[in-house]
Structure 1
C-alpha cells in the first residue's frame, strides 16, 4: 500500500506542475489548437470529420474527446487543455506499468514515473497544448507496449507448441513442452482478446496519429519473430488472422478515408507531405536530418533547450545532467537485456529511421520527439534502479534529472511572452495577448469578415464562437510564400468571399503590408488602418477585395511549412 501511495504522490506532482502552469497562463493559444476546438464545436453541430482539418495524418479522435468535454463543461480553451492533462496523467500511469512489467521492478517503474511526471519543457508543452493527437499517440503507444509485453511473455513460455481446437469449438489449447517438463496452459478467450487488442491498438494508432508507428513497428517485428519460432502453421495463421482483424477494425476510419480520397494521397500524407519543403537531393536531406536530430531535436527532447528557440535551459546543471545521461546510456548498453526490453530500444531506432529518412526530419522543433522522452525515462528507471541496489543514495540522481527539468519549465515560464509556445517559427510568433483588444475593435467597427493569415484566422474564429470569420489566405512568411493548405476549413473562405464588407489583418510582415497598401492604392480603394500590438488592421475599405485580386502577389507552395 505504501508503494502505491508513493506512486500516487508522484503522479500528483505531475498534475500539480500542469495545473500551476495553466493557472499562470503561460501557454499561448495558437491556430493548431484553435482548429481542434473548432472541430469539436462542429462535431457537436453534427459534423463527423475523419482527420484533422487539412492534415490527413492525424485523426479526429482528439476533437471528439474535446467535443465530449465541451458538451459537459462548455466551450473554452481550458476544455481543450483539460483533455490533454487527463491523457498525460494516463500516459504517466501506463508508463509506470511499462517500466514495472518490462523490468520486473516496482522501483524502476516508479523512477520512470517521476521522470515522466516532471518532464522537460518539450514534453510539458506538447502534452498540455493540443496539436491534434500527440497526447493520444503517447497513451496508445504505452498500451501497445503493455500488450506486446504480455504477448511476448506467452510466446516465451515454450520452445515447442502444438495447437488444437476443442471439439466444442469454445476454446483453443496449447501444450507446452519445456526441458523442465510438460506444462499445459490455455489460449482461450483472454488470449484471443489480447491478439485482437494488439492489432486494434496498432490500427487505431495509425488513424489517430502516424507517430504511433514508432511503437507498433518494433513491437510487430518482435511479435512476428517470436510467433514464427513456433513452427506451427495453424498457430501462426490463427494469430496473424486475429491481428489483421483487430488492425482493420482499429484503422477503419483510415481505410474509409482512403476509399473516398485514394490510398496514394493518404500514404503520401502519412510520410510527411504536409512538411515536404526540401528540394535538395535525398542523400543531402538525409544528412541534414541527422544533423537536425543531434544538434536540435535531441537537445529539445532532454530539456537542454526549448523547442521554439535555441538557448540553454538550466545552464548550471547541464554538465551534470549530460554526464548522468551519458552514464545511464552507457550502462544500459552494457547491461543484459531481455527480448521484451529490446522492443523498447526498437522504439528509438524506428523513430530515428523515420526522422532521418522522411520529410518529418525537416522539423526538429520537438513535437515528434515525444516518444524519445518516454524511452529515456524507462532507461533511466532501469539503470538508476540497478544503481540503487548497490548504493541507495544513487536513487537521488533521479531527483537531479527532475530538478533540471523543473528548472527549464520555470525558466520558460518566467519569460512570457512567448511563454511555453508551440510556435517555433519566429516571424509567425504573434503575441496573442492583444487578441481580446483586436476582437473588440473589429466588433466596434462592424468588421466581421476578412482575410488574414493562418495563425490569426482560427483563434479569431474560435474565441468569437465563429462570429468573426477571416479567411487564412495571407502568407505569414516574410518572403510571402503561401500554401493553400493553410485554408483548413474552406467554408470560412466561402463566407468571406460572399461578404460585401471585408477587413484585412496582417502580423509582423512589412513586405505584405507594403504589397497590400500598393494594391489598395492601385484599385483606388480607400481604407483606415489601426495597429494593435503585432496586428495591423485594414478596415472601412471603400470596396471589398477578393482572393483573385491579391493571390498573384504571393509565392504559391504545396507544403504547410
Structure 2
C-alpha cells in the first residue's frame, strides 16, 4: 500500500489533515475489485502490520514475565491477597486493601486463576497482559480513525517495545494501571466513533461510554482527564443526542461505578473523594521547581519508555521538553482546524484537540502533586495514562513528513519546509532509537531481576523451614511474602524506627502481635536492619541469619524490639 492510501479511513474517506488542497484527502476512493465488492473486505497492509506488532509486543511481555521481569512488589502482593480472598469467598473488597478510592476489578479477574494455579506471580499478570493487548488494539483503532493507518502502525510499533517503567505499568498485577490505560483509550474511541460517524449513534454505544466512564471513576481517578475531555467532545458536537441518550449514559455510569456509589452511600469509612484529596499530595510542601522537573523533565521520559531500569541517564531526558513542545503544537494545530464550517474535518479536529487535551490534563495533574518532586522515579507511573495521547503528540512530526503537513508548512519557503521535515525525521528517529535502547537496557537487566526472584524463594524457604510464620518487616516485603506463601507467612509492617507501619491488611497485625514466636526480617541495607543490628551489638541476645539479601532476627520469647 502506498503512502497515499494511508489517508483513508475504512469508508474510503480521508482522515488526514485539514488543508483544503491536500491530495491525500481529495483523491477519490479506489473502487473495490468486483470479487471483493460484495464480500468481506480483507485486512489492509497497515492492519496486518499492526496485528503483527501487537502479537510481538504481547509475546515480549509474556517472555519477560516468564523471566521474572519485572520483580514483584508488595502492592502486587496486596492485589494477589485480595484475589485469593475473593476466590475463597472470604472477602469481596470494593477497594484496594488499605484505601478507599481504588477499585479491585483486577483482583476479581485474577481470582479464578489464583484458585486454579495457586499464588504464583505470573497468575496475577495474565489479566494485565490481556489488558495490554486490548490497549494496543484500541490504540490502533483510535489512531487510524483520527489520523492515518500508517501513522497508527508507527504508534503501535513504539508501544510494542517497552522499557522498565512502561513494562512495570503494563504487566505488574497490582491493578489500576493496565486496565485503566485500556479504559481511557476505550472511552476516547467511543466518543470519537459517536462524533465522526454520520447519523445518531445506537443507545448501546452511549451506554457503553457511560459504563467505562463509571468504571474509571471507581477504579482509578487519574484516568478521569480522558473521561472529562471525551464528555466535553460529546457535549460540544452531539449535545442534542447526548440529552436524548442521557438515560443510557447514566444507566451505564451507575453500573460501571456501582461499587464506588454503593460505598459512598451506604458503606463504612470515609468518603472516597475526601480520601483521594487527602493523599493526592497537592497540598504537601515541595518546591515547585522540583515538581516541574519531576513531571516535565524526568517523568515524561520514564513514562514514555525511554529510560533504563531504576534510573534515567541525562541523555535520555531530552524527550521531556520535546514532548511539551509537541503537545502544545498538537493543541494549536487542532484548534486551528476548528475554524472551517461545521463538518467532518471540523469534528475530527475537535476530537484531536480533546485527545491532546487529555494528555495535557494528565501531565498538569501530576505536576501539582508533591510526588513529582519527592519520588519521581516511582510516581512516574501516574503518567502512564498519558500514553493514550501519544498519537496527538507525534502527529505534528508525522504530518510534517507527509502530505498531511501542508497546513503546518503552507506558509514556509521550500528551504524551510525541507528543514522542518529533516527536524521531524531526526526527532522520530531519535525517539525510536531511544526506545529500542531502553528496551535493550531492560533485557540486559533481566539477570538482576531473576536473582531477586531467586532471593525471594530462598528467603521463603528459610522462614518456612524454621516455622517462622509470624514476622515483622518493611512495607515492600510484607504482603509480597504473604501472597507468595498463600498466607503461610503473616507479616506486620514496621517503619525504619521500628514503630508501627502501614498495614494494608490489618488482620495480620493482630496475628503477629499474638504469635508466640516472631521474627524480624529486613533488607540488609535498610535503616530498620541497622537499628536491630545495633540492638544486638548492645548485648541483646538474638539469633541472626542472612538469606537472600535479608537479615532474619529471632529474639528471646519475651523480647519484642518493636
TM-score when normalising by structure 1? 0.77
1:446 is paired with a residue whose SS is coil
Out of 479, 483, 488, the residue aligned to residue 462 of structure 1 is 483
RMSD, aligned CA: 3.4
Note the C-alpha offset of 1:381.
5.5
Contact 1:506-1:536 at 8 Å conserved across structures = yes
Out of 214, 226, 229, the residue aligned to residue 215 of structure 1 is 226
Residue pairs, 1:239-258, within 5 angstroms: 239-258=245-264
2:471 is paired with a residue whose SS is strand
Aligned partners of 2:533 and 2:184: how far apart in 1?
Answer: 50
Which stretches in structure 2 are left out of the alignment for 5+ residues? 1-42, 338-348, 405-417
2:307 is paired with a residue whose SS is coil
Aligned equivalent of 1:289: 291
Residue pairs, 1:86-165, within 5 angstroms: 86-103=130-147, 105-153=148-196
Contact 1:328-1:384 at 8 Å conserved across structures = no
For the pair 1:536 / 2:557, whether they are aligned, the reply is no
Contact 1:501-1:544 at 8 Å conserved across structures = no
For the pair 1:442 / 2:451, whether they are aligned, the reply is no
Aligned equivalent of 1:169: none
Q: Alignment length, in residue pairs?
A: 486
For the pair 1:374 / 2:376, whether they are aligned, the reply is no
Aligned equivalent of 1:300: 302
Contact 1:502-1:545 at 8 Å conserved across structures = no
1:58 is paired with a residue whose SS is coil
Contact 1:460-1:468 at 8 Å conserved across structures = yes
Aligned equivalent of 1:38: 81
Out of 492, 510, 534, the residue aligned to residue 471 of structure 1 is 492
1:411 is paired with a residue whose SS is helix
Aligned partners of 1:211 and 1:106: how far apart in 2?
Answer: 29
Label 1:52 to 1:469 Cα distance change in 2 as closer, same or farther (>3 A).
same
Contact 1:109-1:381 at 8 Å conserved across structures = no
Contact 2:101-2:275 at 8 Å conserved across structures = yes
Note the C-alpha offset of 1:519.
6.3
Aligned partners of 2:73 and 2:219: how far apart in 1?
Answer: 21
Aligned partners of 1:32 and 1:252: how far apart in 2?
Answer: 24
Contact 1:81-1:129 at 8 Å conserved across structures = yes
Label 1:449 to 1:72 Cα distance change in 2 as closer, same or farther (>3 A).
closer
Contact 1:304-1:312 at 8 Å conserved across structures = no
Aligned partners of 2:254 and 2:80: how far apart in 1?
Answer: 29
Label 1:442 to 1:359 Cα distance change in 2 as closer, same or farther (>3 A).
same
Label 1:225 to 1:268 Cα distance change in 2 as closer, same or farther (>3 A).
same
Aligned equivalent of 1:387: 401
Aligned equivalent of 1:196: 207
Aligned equivalent of 2:515: 499
Label 1:481 to 1:207 Cα distance change in 2 as closer, same or farther (>3 A).
farther
Label 1:130 to 1:312 Cα distance change in 2 as closer, same or farther (>3 A).
farther
Contact 1:297-1:364 at 8 Å conserved across structures = yes
Note the C-alpha offset of 1:257.
1.6
Contact 1:120-1:301 at 8 Å conserved across structures = no
Contact 2:522-2:528 at 8 Å conserved across structures = yes
2:211 is paired with a residue whose SS is helix
Residue pairs, 1:387-406, within 5 angstroms: 387-389=401-403, 401-406=431-436
Aligned equivalent of 2:365: 354
Label 1:261 to 1:324 Cα distance change in 2 as closer, same or farther (>3 A).
closer
Deviations 1:199-234 (A, max 9, x none): 111111111211220210111222223345x5xxxx
Aligned equivalent of 1:49: 93
Deviations 1:164-214 (A, max 9, x none): xxxxxxxxxxxxxxxxxxxxx5x4xx6222222211111111112112202
Note the C-alpha offset of 1:91.
0.2
Note the C-alpha offset of 1:44.
0.5
Aligned partners of 2:368 and 2:498: how far apart in 1?
Answer: 25
For the pair 1:267 / 2:270, whether they are aligned, the reply is no
Label 1:88 to 1:360 Cα distance change in 2 as closer, same or farther (>3 A).
same
- Between 353-362 and 36-45, the greater mean CA deviation after superposition: 353-362
Deviations 1:513-540 (A, max 9, x none): 4544676899x9742111224311112x
Label 1:279 to 1:375 Cα distance change in 2 as closer, same or farther (>3 A).
closer
Label 1:75 to 1:460 Cα distance change in 2 as closer, same or farther (>3 A).
closer
Contact 1:214-1:347 at 8 Å conserved across structures = yes
1:529 is paired with a residue whose SS is strand
Label 1:482 to 1:287 Cα distance change in 2 as closer, same or farther (>3 A).
farther
1:211 is paired with a residue whose SS is helix
Contact 1:502-1:544 at 8 Å conserved across structures = no
